[in-house]
Amino acid sequence: MYPPTGVYWIETASPAAFPRLAGDISVDVAVIGGGLVGAIAARLIKDQGLRVALVEARSVGQEVTGKSTAKITSQHNLVYTRLRNRFGMDGARSYAEANEAGLRKILALAADHQLAADIEIKAAYTYTLLEEHVGSIEEEVQLARELGLPATLAMETGLPFAARAAMRWIDQAQFHPVKFVAGLAATLPGEGSHVFEQSRVLDWDSSRVVTAKGAIKAGHVVMATQLPLGQTGAYYARNYPHMHPVIAGQADPGRVPEGMYISVEQPRHSLRSHRTADGRPFLIFTGPSYKPGHADEARKAFAEIEGFARDHFGVQASYRWTNEDYTPMDGRPFIGWSSRQDGLLVATGFDAWGISNGAAAAMIICDLLTGRENPWADFFDARRLDVAHGAKQFVKGNAAVAAELVGGHLASTPRDAEALSPGEGAVLKINGEKMAVFRDETGQLHSLAAACSHLGCLLGWNEFDRTWDCPCHGSRFGLDGEVIHGPATEPLKTGVTG
Ligand SMILES: Cc1cc2nc3c(=O)[nH]c(=O)nc-3n(C[C@H](O)[C@H](O)[C@H](O)COP(=O)(O)OP(=O)(O)OC[C@H]3O[C@@H](n4cnc5c(N)ncnc54)[C@H](O)[C@@H]3O)c2cc1C
Ligand code: FES
């Protein structure tokens, strides 16, 4: 069992403070969700002379964006070969141009608004230790160069072990994600525009969003909540969630490699550096993916990335947290007008590359709202129904979802609440009901209904963040049952207290 450590990026940023929505207001565009996509979309929309309200359920920048490794790069492992094989050169080119533009947009926004977001220009590396992937890296480099991307084969990586092959893209960047999003959000209020925090949207349509304490009437509504809320566009059934372990720890200055890195092979290793305000170097790592709510897989994934960090870089984790993103069924994000509800704009399915993709999404959304042509909008069109590519993997994923809906998985140990140690949680059967039970440090038990408030899947315990996570579509809930994120908008029902 691990004591919670908090999230490195959240702990090293000064909290932004925006008011709650109280009462009713009217704007041109309401943006639900104050992550990277929402904040950039709101800024671009305001730059078009429109009044915008950014409405955040919790604190701006502190959800998936603020828990990422925050590399700003158009190098997404071997994505271009995959896209070219599925969608031809035009598809790969749209993705490349959109992501390059997204990367440059983040840098431009930081410069224009003088955001203190610890931006550093870095090279991005994808490497392999295995002979079997050397050809794939060579193919990706050649294709990337044809697409105009700054790729070369690299002989040296700066890593403390020899790679069989690596590709190096220059002029990429990394930043402090919470400082960036909070700083950008702070430029929004005024001239009829607003930012609201602690204001969860509970109901919405194409011209209005409703929170517990107020409502916003709007000409358009953008849903920038990572996965669209509730049943919107059934995106929860066209993307599947994957969770990752993330760790950060202080590094010996002599052992900090100069670039940002990711491996081709599994178990996937990704890392980057960051310097604290007082100049101490940290390394931030993320490791192999696993299914949300599956405690055994989580433990294995943390053990794997912690071993990698320790063995190669001498880093001991002083922060541990988990983060989640969604893989779209056909391998390309869904961006633009929603599938079913005209007037709603959405952006989802970034497959753990939502920084550059997210900025591109904000640009596309702003263009669609203001009636301008956008060269990438067709490729990412969120209304597309032809998602046959990747269907095999997706069917497998949906079969697993069905299994979670029917049975779920109960904790094998402990089997009853009395056996829970302080700080431990488990899904247990109590009086015939499946309950999510947690024992706090004072010994008191807290229990909630273990059925996800989205579509009823059985939740699983996340011991690293002390949350209840849904394996089906990735909703996450706090110990108080409140939604952290996901398509769910309602808290968990409270249950019996032991
Ligand atoms: C481990 C990991 C590492 C990653 N590293 C990288 C990386 O290095 N580079 C990269 O490009 N991508 C990376 N990603 C992916 C990237 O972080 C995400 O795709 C991206 O940040 C998503 O941004 P977002 O704005 O859509 O979501 P978020 O940042 O989650 O923003 C959505 C916001 O909506 C709010 N919200 C939700 N529901 C409501 C509601 N009902 N009412 C109001 N507000 C609501 C949430 O609180 C949240 O603040 C990583 C992902 C993972 C899992
Ligand atoms: S997120 Fe859909 S059932 Fe839990």
Is 488 exposed, middle or buried (CB count within 10 Å of its CB: 0-12, 13-18, 19+)? Answer: buried
In ligand 1, the atom with minimum distance to the C-alpha of 483 is 38
Q: Is 144 in the pocket of ligand 2 (CB under 6 A)?
A: no
CA 365 – ligand 2 centroid, Å: 26
Q: Are residues 422 and 356 in the same domain?
A: no
Q: Is 352 in the pocket of ligand 1 (CB under 6 A)?
A: yes
Q: Are residues 341 and 228 in the same domain?
A: yes
Q: Is 475 in the pocket of ligand 2 (CB under 6 A)?
A: yes
pLDDT of residue 254: 93
CA 363 – ligand 1 centroid, Å: 17
Mutation to probe ligand 1, out of 64, 247, 291 (largest number of atoms < 8 A from CB): 64
Q: Is 472 in the pocket of ligand 2 (CB under 6 A)?
A: yes
Domain span including residue 335: 10-68+179-237+330-388
Q: Which ligand is nearest to the CA of 289?
A: 1
**Domain termination site, one of 339, 360, 388:** 388
**Cα–Cα dist 180/187, whole Å:** 11
Q: Are residues 445 and 360 in the same domain?
A: no
Contact criterion met (CB below 8 Å) for 447 and 426 = no
Residue 430 is part of a domain; what is its CATH number? 2.102.10.10
pLDDT of residue 343: 78
pLDDT per residue, tens digit, the chain (498 aa), is 777 899 999 999 987 799 999 999 999 999 999 999 999 999 999 999 999 999 999 999 999 999 999 999 999 999 999 999 999 999 999 999 999 999 999 999 999 999 999 999 999 999 999 999 999 999 999 999 999 999 999 989 999 999 999 999 999 999 999 999 999 999 999 999 999 999 999 999 999 999 999 999 999 999 999 999 999 999 999 999 999 999 999 999 999 999 999 999 999 999 999 999 999 999 999 999 999 999 999 999 999 999 999 999 999 999 999 999 999 999 999 999 997 666 799 999 999 999 999 999 999 999 999 999 999 999 999 999 755 445 555 555 555 665 565 555 555 555 788 899 999 999 999 888 999 999 999 999 999 999 999 999 999 999 999 999 999 999 999 999 999 989 999 999 986 544
In ligand 2, the atom with minimum distance to the C-alpha of 459 is 4
Q: Is 68 in the pocket of ligand 1 (CB under 6 A)?
A: yes
CA 22 – ligand 1 centroid, Å: 25
> Is residue 292, in this structure, part of any structural domain at all?
no
Q: Are residues 478 and 399 in the same domain?
A: yes
**Cα–Cα dist 473/485, whole Å:** 11
**Cα–Cα dist 225/206, whole Å:** 15
> Is residue 335, in this structure, part of any structural domain at all?
yes
CA 405 – ligand 2 centroid, Å: 9
On the question of a cis peptide bond just before residue 414, with omega within 30 degrees of 0, the verdict is yes
Could you tell me the sign of the dihedral formed by the alpha carbons of 355, 356, 358, 359, in that order?
positive
CA 275 – ligand 1 centroid, Å: 23
CA 278 – ligand 2 centroid, Å: 42
Paired strand residues for 262: 126, 270
Q: Is 486 in the pocket of ligand 2 (CB under 6 A)?
A: yes
Q: Is 197 in the pocket of ligand 1 (CB under 6 A)?
A: no
- The total of other beta-carbon atoms located within 10 Å of residue 331's CB is 20
In ligand 1, the atom with minimum distance to the C-alpha of 272 is 8
**Domain termination site, one of 388, 409, 437:** 388
> Is residue 75, in this structure, part of any structural domain at all?
no
Tokens 């609201």 sit at which residue?
196
Q: Is 37 in the pocket of ligand 1 (CB under 6 A)?
A: yes
**Cα–Cα dist 358/464, whole Å:** 27
pLDDT of residue 496: 53
Question: By C-alpha distance, which of 238, 243, 245 is closest to 293?
Answer: 243
Q: Is 223 in the pocket of ligand 1 (CB under 6 A)?
A: no
Name the domain count of the chain: 2
CA 460 – ligand 2 centroid, Å: 12
Q: Are residues 380 and 418 in the same domain?
A: no
> Is residue 2, in this structure, part of any structural domain at all?
no
Q: Are residues 373 and 400 in the same domain?
A: no
Side by side, the strands of the sheet bearing 433-439 are 425-430, 433-439, 445-449
Q: Is 69 in the pocket of ligand 1 (CB under 6 A)?
A: yes
pLDDT of residue 498: 43
Ligand 2 atom 3: residue of nearest CA: 455
Residue 379 is part of a domain; what is its CATH number? 3.50.50.60
Q: Are residues 377 and 482 in the same domain?
A: no
Q: Are residues 437 and 469 in the same domain?
A: yes
Task: Please report, to the nearest 10 degrees, the dihedral formed by the alpha carbons of residues 276, 277, 278, 282 taken in order.
Answer: 0
Tokens 């690596």 sit at which residue?
166
CA 442 – ligand 2 centroid, Å: 31
Q: Are residues 345 and 468 in the same domain?
A: no
> Is residue 484, in this structure, part of any structural domain at all?
yes
In ligand 1, the atom with minimum distance to the C-alpha of 35 is 31
> Is residue 130, in this structure, part of any structural domain at all?
no
Ligand 2 atom 1: residue of nearest CA: 473
Ligand 1 atom 16: residue of nearest CA: 354
Cα angle: 446, vertex 450, 405; to 5 degrees: 170
